[in-house]
């Protein structure tokens, strides 16, 4: 029987943990990339005018904003593909969400202006 010392056990556990983290990180990276690809594809469809929003075609300004979203999404995908820094990815996803929220606010402001104009205020 081979006698294993504590330092050897600890070293082996660290090796196993490192391997587990690598596998889990890779699995997580693939999942994130798939989700980002869907976001990119949806943004690209909006830019090309293949879909409408609430039955209305997007204005040129809205298409330009969605083109930026698509471009930034591609940058995030490239960053995730190169490596996995959870903090950096969280920051990038937050920036992407903020950009999309800005588009939604712009659309809401336009709708409100149109309603005010229609009601004569």
Residue-wise pLDDT tens digits, 66-115: 999 999 999 989 988 887 677 787 788 888 888 888 888 888 888 898 88
How far CA 58 is from CA of 42, 61, 72, 97, 106, in Å, comes to: 14, 8, 19, 19, 12
pLDDT one-digit tens code per residue, 50-66? 988 888 888 899 899 99
Q: Quick check: is 13 in a domain?
A: no
Question: 25 pLDDT exceeds 80?
Answer: no
Answer yes or no: is 61 within a domain. Answer: yes
Is there a domain that residue 64 lies in? Answer: yes
Residues 45/51, Cβ–Cβ less than 8 Å: yes
Place of tokens 């997580």: 28
Question: According to the model, what pLDDT value does residue 44 have?
Answer: 92
Dihedral angle of Cα 102, 108, 109, 114, to the nearest 10 degrees: 150
Counting the structural domains of the chain, the total is: 1
Is 9 part of any domain? no
Question: What CA–CA distances, in Å, run from 85 to 32, 43, 74?
Answer: 12, 25, 17
- Other beta carbons within 10 Å of 33: 14
- pLDDT at residue 67, as a whole number: 94
Query: What is the reported pTM?
Result: 0.67
Domain that holds residue 110: 33-119
In a domain, 17, yes or no: no
CB-based contact 89:76 (threshold 8 Å): yes
């Amino acid at each position: 029987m081979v006698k294993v010392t504590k330092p050897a056990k600890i070293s082996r556990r660290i090796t196993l943990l490192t391997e587990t983290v690598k596998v889990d990180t890779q699995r997580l990276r693939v999942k994130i990339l798939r989700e980002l690809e869907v976001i990119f594809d949806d943004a690209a469809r909006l830019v090309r005018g293949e879909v409408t929003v609430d039955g209305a075609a997007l204005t040129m300004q809205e298409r330009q904003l969605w083109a930026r979203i698509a471009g930034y999404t591609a940058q995030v995908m490239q960053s995730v593909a190169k490596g996995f820094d959870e903090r950096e990815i969280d920051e990038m996803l937050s920036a992407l969400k903020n950009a999309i929220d800005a588009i939604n606010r712009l659309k809401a402001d336009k709708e409100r202006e149109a309603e005010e104009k229609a009601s004569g205020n």
